[in-house]
């Protein structure tokens, strides 16, 4: 009897580990995404092409670098209404490991295609190898889908009213290593010059 109970408990835990909730990975006119040093220009062609992905973390996480890739990608639209993400769905996209009815924190990362089409977690602490990179603000919410009682929960809107991401974000230029080195040398020269005075 104890073995049977243990097997049932393990089965429930294993099922929960692979549970999938639903999110709406699409934005609207009030949550547009832009690129450029001052946010000039919408993320659409003929400008640079971008990729975006959803990152999640335990509820209440406030460190932007502590999030992990949720397996969902999107790209900028090629239509005339710039700043919209393409690849999301109004019906909901499944997120492995985020069970329906459970809350998590999330953010969206965006980068220019010259960095590649696959997410690199090292970019959270040191963006490199691409022209543009950006992170949204942190949102939180409950994943949609079917709960443990068989009830239906609407897909969570990643962009939208609080506590989701309430506004868009800007994907900004990434300084080249040479530029950063020159800036460092300039700062060192200023310090040396001040000490000599």
Strand partners, 66: none
Domain containing 66 equals 19-196
Three-state secondary structure of the chain: CHHHHHHHHHHHHHHHHCCEEEEECCCCCCCCCEECCCCCCECCCCCCCEEEEEEEEECCCCCHHHCEEEEEEEEECCCCCCCCEECCCCCCEEEECCCCCCEEEEEEEEEEHHHCCCCCHHHHCCCCCCCEEEECCCEEEECEEECCCCCEECCEECECCCCCECCCCEEEECCCHHHHHHHHHHHHHHHHHHHHC
- Is 186 contained in some domain? yes
This prediction has a pTM of 0.78
Please indicate, yes or no, if residue 40 is contained in any of the structural domains: yes
Confidence check: pLDDT of 165 > 60: yes
| 7, part of any domain | no
CA distance 41 to 136: 17
* Model confidence at 176: pLDDT above 90: no
Asked whether residue 66 is assigned to any structural domain, the reply reads yes
Q: Is residue 12 part of a domain?
A: no
- Across 124-130, average pLDDT: 95
What's the structural domain count of the chain? 1
Q: Is residue 80 part of a domain?
A: yes
Residue 39 vs residue 5, higher pLDDT:
39
pLDDT grade for 53, boundaries at 50, 70 and 90:
very high
Q: Is residue 44 scored above 80 in pLDDT?
A: no
Residue 14: inside a domain: no
Give the pLDDT confidence of 73-82 residue by residue, as tens digits.
998 876 656 7
Point out the least confidently predicted range of 2-6, 35-39, 77-81, 122-126: 2-6
3 within some domain? no
* Ranges 40-44, 104-108, 115-119, 128-132: which has the least confidence: 40-44
Using pLDDT thresholds of 50, 70 and 90, give the confidence band for residue 184: very low
Q: For residue 18, is pLDDT > 60? A: no
């Amino acid at each position: 009897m104890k073995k049977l109970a243990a097997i049932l408990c393990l089965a429930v835990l294993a099922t929960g580990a692979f549970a999938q909730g639903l999110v709406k990975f699409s934005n609207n006119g009030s949550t547009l995404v832009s690129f450029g040093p001052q946010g000039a220009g919408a993320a659409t062609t003929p400008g640079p092409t971008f990729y975006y992905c959803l990152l999640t973390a335990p509820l209440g996480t406030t460190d932007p670098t502590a999030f992990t890739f949720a397996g969902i990608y999107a790209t900028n639209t090629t239509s005339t209404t710039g700043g919209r993400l393409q690849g999301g769905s109004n019906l909901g996209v499944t997120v492995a490991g985020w069970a329906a009815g459970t809350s998590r924190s999330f953010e969206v990362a965006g980068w220019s295609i010259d960095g590649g089409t696959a997410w690199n977690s090292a970019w959270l602490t040191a963006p490199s190898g691409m022209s543009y990179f950006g992170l949204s603000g942190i949102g939180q919410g409950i994943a949609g889908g079917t709960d443990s009682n068989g009830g239906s929960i609407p897909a969570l809107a990643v962009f939208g009213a609080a506590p989701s991401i309430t506004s868009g974000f800007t994907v900004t230029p990434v300084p080249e290593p040479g530029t950063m080195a020159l800036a460092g040398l300039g700062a060192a020269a200023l310090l040396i010059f001040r000490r000599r005075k």
